[in-house]
Amino acid sequence: MGRYVIRRLLQMIPVFFGTTLLIFLMVNVMGDPIAGLCGDRQCDPATAAQLRTEFGLDKPVWQQYLTYMGNVFTGDFGTAFNGQKVTELMATAFPITIRLTLIAIVFEVVIGITLGVVTGLRRGRPVDTGVLILTLVVISVPTFVTGLLLQLLLGVEWGIIKPSVSPQAPVDELIVPGLVLASVSLAYVTRLTRTSIAENARADYVRTAVAKGLPRRRVVVRHLLRNSLIPVVTFIGTDVGALMGGAIVTERIFNIHGVGYQLYQGILRQNTQTVVGFVTVLVLVFLAANLIVDLLYAVLDPRIRYA
Amino acid sequence: MLLEVRDLHVEFHTRDGVAKAVNGVNYSVAEGETLAVLGESGSGKSVTAQAIMGILDMPPGRISGGQVLFKDRDLLTLKNEERRKIRGQEMAMIFQDALSSLNPVLSVGQQLGEMFVVHRGMSRKDAKTRSIELMDRVRIPAAKERVGNFPHQFSGGMRQRIMIAMAMALEPSLIIADEPTTALDVTVQAQVMELLAELQRELDMGLILITHDLGVVADVADKIAVMYAGRIVETSPVHDIYRAPAHPYTKGLLRSIPRLDQKGQDLYAIKGLPPNLLHIPPGCAFHPRCPMAQAVCRTDVPPLYTVDENRRSACHFWKETLDAR
């Protein structure tokens, strides 16, 4: 097990450098970051040149990358053009997004798995068909539509929630945005659980559990669910990474100043340091989430052993 | 009588129509008695057992008639909760493929101990002690060390022993073993069968042994019920049936056992295929494959004729079959 973890951690190194380099190059291709700084007017050539030297933009790209990576390993993610440290931005943005992601995951686990179990055990009945159609609708409608609709109805028309989340983003204000963020994944979790439950419900060991005279609840929870959750856990695990980076739309709609919001601003202002810094951390989160999922596999299914 | 099945009918509603899997089965098992139920795949022997246990998938299955009297109570009229309490405590089942029938993600100790926790309200710790005792009893070596192992870490024979231990856990009065040795190596088959017979004697349990292996039957069974197309075609004490079968189907089954004194000869096989349960032939269901079939067999369903005190045969020509040897 220990050896397996070490091997996986080592495998992360090339992935880490590869992705960061790719992002670095992509941001460079986007155009001259200085050009956008002075608004619609052309920048004063002298100021522009000074800024370029200050941020090291006059050097070749590979050299910029090496300098940047060198700084990253000392904990310095650079400075945004407005003079704020990128690490400072992260310190305010990440807690908010982590909170939002956790709320979304709770929705996925609680609602998604419950609906999946209920429908999986009642295949072809009205509940099943109803939920199935609902999930199809949720999957088909883009997040910005669901988000804006809920914001308009719950926030503006009925005044149940605040349409715009305050800068501190307390948990209660993040519930509706969390639901919006979770919606599509929640529908997938429901469907995945449903299929898995329906498939395993016919398994021999479930029949054995019934023949042992166990109460139905115990048959479902202890025997059926535990076996059926293996693919669902994989999905939710990888979704952690996707949710954290993919909150751009949701965070924009509800004006949440999290990672998605900062990334959006960074891209809009061609703020290389911010974009590369945030994405690098997201890549790390994604890799860690994947590793945890693989380790969870072995916990859920004793037939899997890592050497 | 411990268990008495009376005129049991089970059908399956499928897209293609109604499959009549069990059509009026009667059999009985007394305490300490072993009944072997013999028949090809699809003869309804497993479905009957599932109906007795109450683990039939309904739908698509439906019990359309009959009674299952267990200790003088008709199980089919009991509430689900009452039936659940009988399962595991008073009757238990051993399945064919222990690997797929045991839960892959729970340790064998957990699966054995569960019986005591659920039915006896024992603490987990006590249940674990009892699990180790059970594993010792079915002669699994190093039970104490292996109680935390998972099913895939055991060999096929050991896994089947665990299944047996699980069925024995609460010392039920009836055990149904559905082809308990089919998935095992021949050498292991004998050991497992021996163990099962020994425990049965010790606990004085009724045993229904479902099999298509005539070799297994001869050693352990007291009486035999042969099934074909969802009906009993012959019942008999075990020795009489080997000496002189009273139904052409039983005769065919016995003739198709390979024998050492017939070396070099072609192996006998009953011609034709088992009937489609959606369209069971009229009259005697076996008539299209029967070497003795006459006109009457195509029209009249044979009743269970009384051959002697202990024997019944559902053949219009049981006398001729007996005499023909």
Do B287 and B233 touch, CB atoms closer than 8 A? no
Greatest alpha-carbon pair distance for chain B in Å reads 67
- The shortest CB-CB distance from B87 to any of A204, A212, A301 is to A212
Q: How confident is the model at residue B66 (pLDDT cuts 50, 70, 90)?
A: confident
Contact residues on chain A for B55, CB-CB shorter than 8 A: 207, 210-211
* CA-based nearest residue in chain B for residue A212: B88
Contact residues on chain A for B119, CB-CB shorter than 8 A: 213
Residue A148 has pLDDT above 90, yes or no: no
Pairing of strands B3-14, B311-313: unpaired
Note the Cα A68 to chain centre separation in Å: 25
The residue length of chain B stands at: 325
Note the Cα B179 to chain centre separation in Å: 7
Average pLDDT, integer, range B131-150: 90
Average pLDDT, integer, range B94-98: 89
Q: What is the third-level CATH fold of A89-259?
A: MetI-like fold (1.10.3720)
pLDDT in tens, A195-251: 999 999 889 999 999 999 999 999 999 999 988 998 898 888 888 878 887 678 888
The whole-chain average pLDDT of chain A stands at 83
Q: Token digits for A17?
A: 């450098």
A299 in contact with chain B, both atoms CB, cutoff 8 A: no
Interchain CB distance below 8 Å, B101 and A209: no
Do B180 and B37 touch, CB atoms closer than 8 A? no
Interchain CB distance below 8 Å, B103 and A227: yes
A125 in contact with chain B, both atoms CB, cutoff 8 A: no
Do B94 and B167 touch, CB atoms closer than 8 A? yes
pLDDT in tens, B222-269: 899 999 988 999 999 988 888 888 888 888 888 887 777 777 778 888
Interchain CB distance below 8 Å, A214 and B86: no
| A-to-B residue pairs, Cβ atoms closer than 8 angstroms | 72
Instruction: Return the number of other C-beta atoms located less than 10 Å from residue B107's C-beta.
Output: 19
Phi, psi of B236 (to 5 degrees): -170, 150
Give the whole-angstrom CA distance, residue B109 versus residue B117: 12
* CA-only gyration radius of chain A, Å: 24
Average pLDDT, integer, range B44-52: 90
Contact residues on chain A for B104, CB-CB shorter than 8 A: 205, 227, 301-303
Residue A31 has pLDDT above 70, yes or no: no
Give the whole-angstrom CA distance, residue B143 versus residue B120: 22
A217 in contact with chain B, both atoms CB, cutoff 8 A: no
pLDDT in tens, A94-124: 888 888 899 999 999 999 999 999 999 988 8
B193 in contact with chain A, both atoms CB, cutoff 8 A: no
pLDDT in tens, B206-228: 999 998 777 778 778 889 999 99
A207 in contact with chain B, both atoms CB, cutoff 8 A: yes
Do A146 and A153 touch, CB atoms closer than 8 A? no
* CA-only gyration radius of chain B, Å: 21
Instruction: Return the number of other C-beta atoms located less than 10 Å from residue B122's C-beta.
Output: 16
- The shortest CB-CB distance from A204 to any of B97, B105, B152 is to B97
B58 in contact with chain A, both atoms CB, cutoff 8 A: no
Residue A178 has pLDDT above 70, yes or no: yes
Kindly give, in sequence order, each residue whose CB lies less than 8 Å from that of residue A233, ignoring residues fewer than 6 positions away. A293, A296, A297, A300
A222 in contact with chain B, both atoms CB, cutoff 8 A: yes
ipTM of the complex: 0.88
